[in-house]
Amino acid sequence: MSRTVHTFCRYCLASCGVEVTVEDNRVTKISADKRNPHSWHDFCAKGRTAAQLVEHPRRILNPMRRVGDEYVEAGWDEAIADIATRMNAAIDAGGPDAVGVYYGNPAGFSSSNIVFMNGWLDAVGTHSRYAVGSIDQNAMHVVAQAMYGSILMAPVSDIDNCDYFLLVGTNPAVSAWNWLETVPGGWRRALARQARGATIVVVDPVRTESAAKADVHVAVRPGQDWALLLAMVAVILGEGLEHRQDCAELVDSMEGLRALVVDVDIDDLADRCDVPRDRIESVARDFATARAAMVVTRTGLSMHLTGTVAEWLGHVLNVITGRMDRPGGRRYEPGYVDAIRMSGMVKATPHRNRLSGREMVAGAHALSELPDEITTPGPGQIRALLLNCGNPVVSGPDGARLDEALSQLDLLVAIDFVQRESHRHAHWLLPAVHWLERDDLLAFTSNMHDEPYLHFGARTVEPPPGARQEWRIFVDLALAMGKPLFRAKGLNAFITATRRVARVTRRPQLEFSPAWIDRLVVATGRKFNGRRIRWREVLAHPHGWVLGPREFGHFREALRTPDKVVRLAPPEFVARARELLAEPAPAAPAGYPFQLANRRHRHSMNSWLNDLPGLHPSGKGSEVVLHPYDAAPLGIADGDRVTVHSPVGAIELTAAVSDQPRPGVVIIDHGWGSRVFDPRGGSAPVGFGVNRNLLVDAEEVDPLSQTPALNSAYVAVTRV
Ligand SMILES: Nc1nc2c(c(=O)[nH]1)N[C@H]1C(S)=C(S)[C@@H](COP(=O)(O)OP(=O)(O)OC[C@H]3O[C@@H](n4cnc5c(=O)[nH]c(N)nc54)[C@H](O)[C@@H]3O)O[C@H]1N2
Ligand SMILES: Nc1nc2c(c(=O)[nH]1)N[C@H]1C(S)=C(S)[C@@H](COP(=O)(O)OP(=O)(O)OC[C@H]3O[C@@H](n4cnc5c(=O)[nH]c(N)nc54)[C@H](O)[C@@H]3O)O[C@H]1N2
Ligand code: SF4
Ligand SMILES: [Mo]
């Protein structure tokens, strides 16, 4: 018998409402939920085909233990006991930091994963925490912390009132309007504004799908957005186009910004970003004088050695032109849970890495440091590592080095659906539960939606009996290791007691689970229409629930800076900007004339979903796109086999000659070249495309965000 379940897709932050048809515990169809009041504009093939991953022929269905070169299925008791014993042995020998974790992007799309992972990490007492942030959004966190006082203070876009969109380093036509904000149908809504007279400016070294539709395309030199944006700030302040009131009342360090800007030479900046001065001036003037405008900055701007300064200047432009908390600009959505306040209750102990001496950013160390922390002997050396929703060998820089380091661990544990590239040395593979198979309430990101919105993501089918949610794995590990979850006295005993009660009474709902927390945060959350939300109302809105209208006026109250003003010119950003200004103009190092840009596809998600039948014709992820101007002197024609190499790696691909990239820039899609192994069947791994991140040096990082030059590394191309 078939039934229909309404829930939402948890592959990307767009969080599209979906209608799922289920027959005999199998998903047979997924379509957009047209009755979802918030998201019905958005939907894509990734969501439509989500059941293919659930039924992946190579899906791990039970814990699998490595025995020699093969894997054998095991029970959970054996898995947890063995992992706990080996982790405790590592701690006994080298202290708590000997146990580490890397968590990737999907961990944030579960309501319980990161919370319980941190509870377990606190139990262990380890500082060896590595996260996807250093290959994604760290720059945003660093800027939000410094300017607004909280890493979570992420302004959302008020698209439907905007007259001037300045989109820097983003391709929303493909990746949807999301990066620490959820704006369903964002690109389509921006195009609707354009049809009514709004201007769209796209700053991107590549003529992307978004740039092709823009009114103005600024083909900036990769990694030099900081120079472009600084020049715009200089034009605006120089011509007195700033918003007088906000510059006087909303910020604390206008002089700091003016002092930086007063010395800059706009011609020099124009040279650095390779955008004509008159173009910079006209965009700056139009942006500052538009009735309603916003700058939106994203990964294309941040994944460089200069990323944090550029991200900062994007925010500066919004603030000094009066775009914060005003219609058509960027506002703060309080959501139904005050995530900023709750994150403030968690007291993270600052920690410097033993080798690099660098501090954590947003609670984690940088991925680029992980290999050395594994391979360098001494107190604190990582000997046991857990990979939680991550494929860092492919998604991160210099994967070859990380792969080699992972092979040296005493214990590598991966929680995932299939065994991917980063898991190939794993001693244990633990089967995860897909979002179609679990309940989620993403309460802690409720302030990232572009309107007050609540949606309980119900599970549509039961998971395979051998799969387990991450929270459960972390609780079991803490219990088996004898370490107090969350460092909270008595919690382990309480959880054990609830389990016993549930077993004895045969009422599984009496066992402690994160569902308790979901109910608690809603019950204690923000009031709407004068009262708090009730859980049964949550369940009564299977299509999602718009809680009220978009409101302005919450930005200032949300600021966590001491005096509730925006810190416009944090000294560390000014100092770094001065350092960049003092550097010679950017030039390619000898032998590596091109910069490597990046591309996503509508149908893939970073390094996964690339292996799903139906989504990807073969040959994808294996081409390098060169401008004809660059290809001709090298004798390279469309379809030729070429080698792309850098000081750290070399890969072979097929050339595609096109004028999409600006001359000097070559494009290779990221996220490809990850093999999927077959631990159950033992047949050969399948792989699609080539891993372009093998070309990215992990040594050099932006000192503020600790992000490497993932989208501007220098490379050479030669014909095979
Ligand atoms: N050159 C270059 N590199 C980039 C980028 C770029 O623009 N250019 N983009 C970067 C960005 S923005 C990001 S976010 C990172 C991503 O980097 P990562 O998060 O490290 O890697 P992903 O490729 O997202 O891999 C996620 C893994 O989680 C698994 N997974 C999915 N859902 C679940 C789940 O519910 N539970 C468990 N246990 N596992 C799950 C998937 O099967 C997959 O193996 O890559 C970055 N890499
Ligand atoms: N289909 C799909 N959607 C996704 C994802 C996916 O993998 N696939 N990933 C999701 C995730 S995790 C994230 S974080 C978001 C990311 O969302 P976006 O940040 O919008 O990511 P991209 O689509 O890679 O767009 C980045 C753009 O920056 C350009 N760029 C490269 N270098 C520079 C530079 O130096 N300066 C400027 N100005 N531009 C530059 C690239 O050419 C590219 O067009 O997308 C999310 N949505
Ligand atoms: S992957 Fe596609 S369907 Fe899923 S939330 Fe993102 S845009 Fe929506
Ligand atoms: Mo990301």
Q: Identify the burial level of 535 via C-beta atoms within 10 angstroms of its C-beta, where 0-12 means exposed, 13-18 middle and 19 or more buried.
A: middle
Return the ligand number nearest the Cα of 180: 2
Question: In this predicted structure, what is the pLDDT of residue 619?
Answer: 64
Whether 416 is in the pocket of ligand 1, judged by its Cβ within 6 Å, is: yes
**Distance between Cα 639 and ligand 4 center (Å):** 31
What are the φ/ψ torsions at residue 100 (nearest 5 degrees)? Answer: -135, 175
Asked whether 10 lines ligand 3 (CB < 6 A), one says no
Q: What is the H or E stretch that residue 201 is in?
A: strand 199-203
149 and 264 belong to one structural domain: yes
Task: Indicate which ligand has the atom closest to the C-alpha of 671.
Answer: 1
Distance 50 CA to ligand 3 centre (A): 10
- Cβ neighbours of residue 268 closer than 8 Å, sequence gap 6 or more: 585
Ligand 1 proximity of 83 Cβ (cutoff 6 Å): no
Mutational pocket test of ligand 2: of 295, 313, 448, 600, the residue with most ligand atoms within 8 Å of the beta carbon: 600
Spatial separation of the C-alpha atoms in residues 688 and 193, rounded to whole Å: 39
335 burial (CB, 10 Å; 0-12 / 13-18 / 19+) is: buried
What is the distance of C-alpha 560 from the center of its chain? 23
Answer yes or no: pTM beyond 0.85: yes
Provide the CATH number for the domain around residue 633: 2.40.40.20
Q: Is the CB of 42 under 6 A from ligand 3?
A: yes
The reply to whether ligand 1 has any atom less than 6 angstroms from the CB of 469 is no
Asked whether residue 236 is assigned to any structural domain, the reply reads yes
R_g of the chain computed on alpha carbons: 25
Backbone phi and psi for residue 687, each to the nearest 5 degrees, phi listed first: -135, 150
Q: Does residue 650 share a domain with residue 576?
A: no
- Where b means 16+ CB within 10 Å and e means fewer, 601-628 reads bebbbbbbbbbbeebbeeebbbbbbbbe
Q: Which ligand is nearest to the CA of 306?
A: 2
Which residue's alpha carbon is at the smallest distance from atom 13 of ligand 2?
Answer: 179
With a 6 Å cutoff on the Cβ, whether 183 touches ligand 3 is no
**One domain for residues 379 and 346:** yes
Same domain, 119 and 142: no
133 within 8 A of 141, measured Cβ to Cβ: yes
In a domain, 36, yes or no: no
Residue 707 in contact with ligand 3 by CB distance below 6 A: no
Categorise residue 50: left if φ over 0, alpha if ψ from -120 to 50, beta otherwise: alpha
The answer to whether position 507 is within a domain reads no
C-alpha dist (Å) from residue 23 to 20, 28, 88? 10, 7, 44
Residue nearest atom 45 in ligand 1 by C-alpha distance: 395
Q: Is 242 in the pocket of ligand 2 (CB under 6 A)?
A: no
Residue whose CA is at the smallest distance from ligand 2 atom 45 = 175
| pLDDT tens digits, one per residue of 224-252 | 999 999 999 999 999 999 999 999 999 99
151 and 300 inside one domain = yes
Give the position, in ligand 1's atom list, of the atom nearest the Cα of 396. 47
Q: Could you identify the atom of ligand 1 that is nearest to the CA of residue 418? A: 42
User: Would the CB of 168 count as within 6 Å of ligand 2?
Assistant: yes
Last residue of a domain, one of 385, 400, 432: 432
Which structure tokens are listed for 165? 């969109």
Q: Among residues 64, 54, 63, which one has the least CA distance to residue 30? A: 54
How far, in Å, is the centroid of ligand 2 from the Cα of 600? 7
Atom of ligand 2 minimally distant from the CA of 228 = 38
The first and second tokens of residue 223, run together, are 């990694």
Domain boundary among 432, 462, 488: 432
**Same domain, residue pair 253 and 302:** yes
pLDDT digits (tens, 9 = 90+) for 681-703: 999 999 889 999 999 999 999 99
Q: pLDDT tens digit string along 553-612?
A: 999 999 999 999 999 999 999 999 999 999 999 899 999 999 999 999 888 899 998 888
**Minimum-distance ligand to the CA of 467?**
1
Amino acid (1-letter code) at residue 4: T
Report CA(320)–ligand 1 centroid distance (Å): 35
CA of 108 to the centre of ligand 3 (A): 15
- Indicate if ligand 3 lies below 6 Å from the C-beta of 11: yes
With the most atoms of ligand 2 within 8 angstroms of its CB, the residue from 105, 274, 299 to mutate is 299
- Regarding the beta carbon of 106 and ligand 1, being less than 6 Å apart is answered yes
Q: Which residue has the tokens 């990082």?
A: 701
Nearest Cα neighbor of 568 from 163, 242, 296 is 242
What is the reported pLDDT for 617?
Answer: 62
Q: Is the CB of 176 under 6 A from ligand 3?
A: yes
CA pseudo-torsion sign 248, 250, 251, 254: negative
Q: How far is CA 284 from CA 20, 230, 632, in A?
A: 47, 10, 36
Give the whole-angstrom CA distance, residue 468 versus residue 63.
9
- pLDDT score at 618: 60
Same domain, 111 and 158: no
Q: Are residues 266 and 129 in the same domain?
A: no
Cα-flanking dihedrals φ and ψ of residue 213, to 5°?
-95, -5
What is the reported pLDDT for 1?
84
Structure tokens that stand for 689 in this block: 């495309």
Give the number of whichever ligand sits closest to the CA of residue 174: 2
Task: Work out which ligand 1 atom sits closest to the CA atom of 596.
Answer: 1
- The CATH number for 303's domain is 3.40.228.10
Instruction: Work out the burial of residue 420: count CB atoms within 10 Å of its CB; fewer than 13 is exposed, 13-18 middle, 19 or more buried.
Output: buried
Would you state the torsion angle of the CA atoms of residues 162, 163, 164, 168, taken in this order, to the nearest 10 degrees? 30
Co-location of 262 and 280 in the same domain: yes
Contact 197, 29 (CB under 8 A): no
Atom from ligand 2 closest to the CA of residue 599: 24
CA of 106 to the centre of ligand 1 (A): 7
Is 371 in contact with 402 (CB distance < 8 Å)?
A: yes
* DSSP codes, 6-57: EEE--SSTT--EEEEEEETTEEEEEEE-TT-TTTTT---HHHHTHHHHHT-T
605 lines ligand 2 (CB under 6 A): yes
Residue 46 covered by a domain: no
Q: Which amino acid is at 433?
A: V
Q: Which ligand approaches the C-alpha of residue 413 most closely?
A: 1
Ligand 2 pocket, residue 670 CB under 6 Å: no
Which ranges of the chain have pLDDT less than 70? 613-614, 616-619
How far apart are alpha carbons 639 and 632 in whole angstroms? Answer: 13
Our CA angle for 243, 249, 253, nearest 5°, is: 90
* Inside any domain, residue 512: no
Q: What is the CATH number of the domain that holds 361?
A: 3.40.50.740
Ligand 2: does its nearest atom lie under 6 Å from the Cβ of 369?
A: no
Q: Residue 377's domain spans which residues?
A: 64-135+340-432
Instruction: Judge whether 670 and 693 are in contact, CB under 8 Å.
Output: yes
DSSP 548: S
- Is position 441 within any domain? no
**Residue 115 domain flag:** yes
Q: How far is the CA of 184 from the centre of ligand 3 (A)?
A: 9
Which of 407, 432, 457 represents a domain boundary (last residue)?
Answer: 432
| Cα 560 to middle of ligand 3, angstroms | 32
DSSP strand pairing (199-203 vs 164-168): parallel
* Whether 325 and 414 share a structural domain: no
47 within ligand 1 shell (Cβ under 6 A): no
CB distance 179 to ligand 2 below 6 Å: yes
The total number of structural domains that make up the chain: 3
Co-location of 255 and 276 in the same domain: yes
For residue 370, CA distances in Å to 101, 129, 134, 364, 619 come to 10, 9, 11, 11, 32
CA 715 to mean position of chain CA atoms: 25
Mutate to test the pocket of ligand 3, among 6, 7, 8, 9 (most ligand atoms within 8 A of CB): 9
CA distances from 34 to 37, 51, 126, 187 (A): 8, 20, 46, 18
Ligand 3 proximity of 46 Cβ (cutoff 6 Å) = yes
State the Cα–Cα distance between residues 618 and 4, nearest whole angstrom: 34
Atom of ligand 1 nearest to the CA of 109: 35
Angle CA 572–169–387, to nearest 5:
75
Q: Ligand 2 within 6 A of 174 CB? A: yes
Task: Indicate whether 180 belongs to any domain.
Answer: yes
Q: Please check whether residues 351 and 211 belong to one and the same domain.
A: no
**586 contacts 654 by C-beta, under 8 angstroms:** no
